[in-house]
Amino acid sequence: MARGDHKVGIIGYGAYIPRYRIRGEEIAKAWGQEHRKLPIKEKSVPNIDEDSLTIAVEASCYAIKMANIDSSEIGAVYVGSESPPYAVKPSATVLAEALGITPELIAIDMEFACRAGTTALQSVAALVASGYIRYGLAVGTDTAQGRPSDELEYTAASGAAAFVLSEKSEETVAYIEDSYSYVTDTPDFWRRDTKRYPMHAFRFTGKPAYFKHIYNAVKGLLNKTGLTIDDFNYVVFHQPNEKFPIRMAKMLGVSYDKLKTGLLSPYIGNTYAAASLIGLCAVLDKAKPGERILVASFGSGAGSDALSIITQDSLVEKRNRRPDIYTFINRKTYIDYSTYLRYTRSITMR
């Protein structure tokens, strides 16, 4: 993520989580599964007029506000999502138009399941590091769906996170020290064309997919940088549920205290391409200057990006320019299952 000594920094970041929530016990009751162990407490649900694009606009506005730049200065918009509102029509162009960035820019849609957000971040960082652009916007956004009564229905949620990147300076709130990616062809999760809901293979989801890829990505980053896991003050993992990131932390020798700040899935669910990035936003909202953050995403299919991020002095002042993550987490209205079904069907049937 560097060109010579030119590190890439985060000059602004923002997130958005829809207001509506459904409790896991409400879903269980609808399917006669009241006594099952729930993977999360509750999850976010988009309003009937929200989709992955509208929530991406919200998150991006907050990021640009923190960056304190004119949106027209942004030279690239990369959107990572697996729930775009159009099967054939880019999301990046719509987002850029809504933000006043077009027409002179690079606009790219990226899809790699829940890893797409960090892949967008890496790609934009590379453009900045090369000197090709001055500012770039990377977004992870999803309004994920799970088949009714399926395991995924308990966790598939909605949220977005956006980051404005530039060359590291006194204005950046943190910078990317380095990154490492690890990918294989592991068929743990997929959705064929014309199918409304994704499918998944239970026996591939854990050890061969999530744990193998994050573990190897983190180990690769440590070997590349010469760091140890103890050099990190905070750790954020992709969080499809609560137990996976906790188990991942134990495998890597990370204490729960370093994990808990960015572990949000028990309260908002799995926001897919936004999950690890929203967790990063939560950590940036609490971190002190000079602290090191490990972020490791995971996307089914399968792959993981591991990034080392170091906070800077301007973080403390600049993060007050937009709402913190817990403003969105605590701003919630509960809905029943019939309302939830109506809202989520409105997304999948557009």
> Torsion-angle region of residue 131: left (phi > 0), alpha (psi -120 to 50) or beta?
left
Residue 183 DSSP SS3: strand
- Catalytic, out of 200, 238, 242, 281: 238
Residue 312 DSSP SS3: coil
Residue 253 DSSP SS3: coil
DSSP for residue 87: S
Angle at 127 between CA 294 and CA 320, to 5 degrees: 55
| Residue 238 annotated among the catalytic residues of the structure | yes
Question: Which amino acid is present at 50?
Answer: E
Among candidates 81, 302, 2, 10, which has minimal Cα distance to 181? 302
- Catalytic, out of 58, 82, 153, 242: 82
C-beta of residue 10 within 8 angstroms of C-beta of residue 287: no
Tokens of 178: 């380095």
Tokens of 113: 């399941």
- Catalytic, out of 42, 50, 58, 114: 114
Q: Dump the DSSP string for 139-178.
A: EEEEE----TTSGGGGTB-EEEEEEEEEE--TT-SEEEEE
Residue 34 DSSP SS3: coil
State the DSSP H helix or E strand holding residue 118, giving kind and residue range, or none if neither.
helix 116-130
| Residue 42 annotated among the catalytic residues of the structure | no
Among candidates 252, 253, 263, which has minimal Cα distance to 286? 263
Cα–Cα dist 52/142, whole Å: 5
| Residue 82 annotated among the catalytic residues of the structure | yes
Residue position matching structure tokens 């999850």 = 43
Catalytic residues: 82, 114, 238
